[in-house]
Amino acid sequence: MDRRQRLIEIIQRVTKKDTAPAADESLFDSGLIDSFGLPDLVSALEQEFSIQIPDSDLSPRKFDCIERIEEYLDSRN
């Protein structure tokens, strides 16, 4: 399974929604994730990708959409 599909499944699991957001769809503007859901999303990303995301990186801007999450993950490598 490719990384984008893994991200979609994480978002679906965290949001408890069956629909998949578009790669550039804002998770926050669409209401899929809010500031209370961000820690759940980050925790799921850490577990799935075996990374640690520092508190200083916990910005909705970095995790706003699938494309931005992919960019963030790329920057971690």
3-75: CATH homologous superfamily? ACP-like (1.10.1200.10)
Q: Within 10 A of 10 (CB to CB), how many other CB atoms are there?
A: 20
Q: Give the tens place of pLDDT for each residue, 15-25.
A: 999 988 999 99
pTM: 0.91
Residue 25 CA, distance from chain mean position: 12
Q: Does residue 77 surpass a pLDDT of 90?
A: no
Tell me what pLDDT residue 6 has.
97
pLDDT, average across residues 44-72: 95
Q: Which pLDDT score is estimated for 73? A: 96
Look up residue 56 and give its DSSP letter. G
- Cα separation, 15 vs 10, whole angstroms: 8
Q: Would you state the pLDDT for residue 76?
A: 85
Chain segment 35-54, per-residue pLDDT in tens: 899 999 999 999 999 999 99
Q: Which one, of 34, 65, 69, 32, lies nearest residue 49 by Cα?
A: 69
